[in-house]
């Protein structure tokens, strides 16, 4: 994207899976990223059951937009009326051509990605895609999230692995996540790393560990304590 001073550095594993050379980590699961998104981020947040007009999702790490597109497919499948607000925080945006290439692995997501790819190619980080009002807030989430005026009903915590991208899982940032969560709001993430779970607990979430997707034994999800 033209507005960002730092874009992603991407290599391709097996010619299909984008891997960040900056973080040495893949953007999505090698074991069917779309299925993992549905298991971890959607089901982990009680979605699509909780969808209602005006529902707000926020995400750490926009990457290829696959989570956003999985959300769109779920929103359309649930026959929801109105708008879902999807806000994502991204420091190193991928180029439109890289995103388009990554999405080729997921024909279902690719089929609904047209408006997103056209907007991204044109340099827009705010766009509408079939019922979703999407805003990608560019910059380091450690600075942009505390400054965000919004709140989320559900959070997708999708940084690279905590070992390789520790700045996206810090105690301070998890506090900022909790501080931008609506009452009854939830989070979900693929990781069950102890320090991340403790940071989310300390931030104010009731944290649950449950079976992960594919070869991952556990994931984490939780609800804001009242």
Ligand X SMILES: C[S@@+](CC[C@H](N)C(=O)[O-])C[C@H]1O[C@@H](n2cnc3c(N)ncnc32)[C@H](O)[C@@H]1O
Q: Which residues bind ligand X (CB under 6 A)?
A: 8, 27-28, 61-67, 89-92, 140-142, 158-160, 165, 167-168
Q: How many CA atoms lie within 13 A of 44 on its CB side?
A: 33
Nearer to ligand X, 28 or 55 (CB): 28
List Cα–Cα distances, 174 to 10, 28, 165, in angstroms: 27, 22, 14
Residue pair 86/134 in contact by the 8 Å Cβ criterion: yes
Shortest separation between residue 159's beta carbon and ligand X, angstroms: 5
Contact 191, 159 (CB under 8 A): no
Tokens of 215: 């070869």
Choose between 75 and 160: whose C-beta lies nearer to ligand X: 160
- Looking at the Cβ atoms of 32 and 140, the one nearer to ligand X is 140
* Minimum distance, C-beta of residue 28 to ligand X, in the bound complex (Å): 5
Measure the CA–CA gap between 130 and 155, rounded to whole angstroms.
21
How far apart are CB 216 and ligand X at their closest, in Å? Answer: 13
What is the closest distance, in whole angstroms, from the C-beta atom of residue 161 to ligand X in the complex? Answer: 8
DSSP output for 56-75? EEEEE--TTSHHHHHHHHHH
Least Å from the CB of residue 134 to ligand X? 12
Which residue, 82 or 169, is less far from ligand X as judged by CB?
Answer: 169
Q: CA nearest 30: which of 207, 215, 185?
A: 215
Instruction: State which residue, 51 or 86, has the beta carbon closest to ligand X.
Output: 86
**What span, in angstroms and rounded, lies between the C-alpha atoms of 21 and 212?**
25
């Amino acid at each position: 994207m033209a507005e960002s001073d730092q874009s992603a550095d991407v290599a391709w594993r097996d010619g299909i899976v984008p891997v960040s050379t900056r973080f040495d980590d893949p953007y999505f699961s090698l074991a069917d990223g779309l299925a993992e998104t549905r298991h971890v981020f959607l089901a982990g947040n009680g979605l699509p059951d909780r969808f209602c007009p005006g529902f707000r999702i926020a995400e750490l790490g926009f990457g290829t937009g696959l989570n956003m597109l999985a959300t769109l497919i779920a929103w359309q499948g649930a026959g929801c009326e109105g708008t879902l607000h999807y806000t994502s925080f991204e420091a190193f945006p991928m180029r439109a051509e890289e995103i388009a290439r990554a999405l080729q692995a997921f024909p279902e997501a690719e089929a609904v990605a047209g408006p997103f790819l056209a907007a991204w190619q044109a340099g827009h980080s705010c766009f509408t895609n079939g019922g979703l009002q999407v805003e990608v807030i560019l910059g380091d989430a450690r600075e942009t999230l505390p400054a965000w005026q919004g709140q989320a009903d559900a959070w997708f915590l999708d940084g690279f692995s905590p070992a390789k991208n520790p700045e996206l899982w810090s105690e301070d940032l998890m506090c900022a996540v909790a501080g931008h969560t609506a009452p009854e709001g939830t989070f979900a993430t693929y990781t069950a790393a102890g320090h991340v779970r403790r940071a989310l607990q300390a931030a104010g979430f009731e944290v649950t560990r449950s079976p992960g997707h594919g070869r991952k034994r556990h994931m984490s999800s939780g609800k804001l304590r009242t």
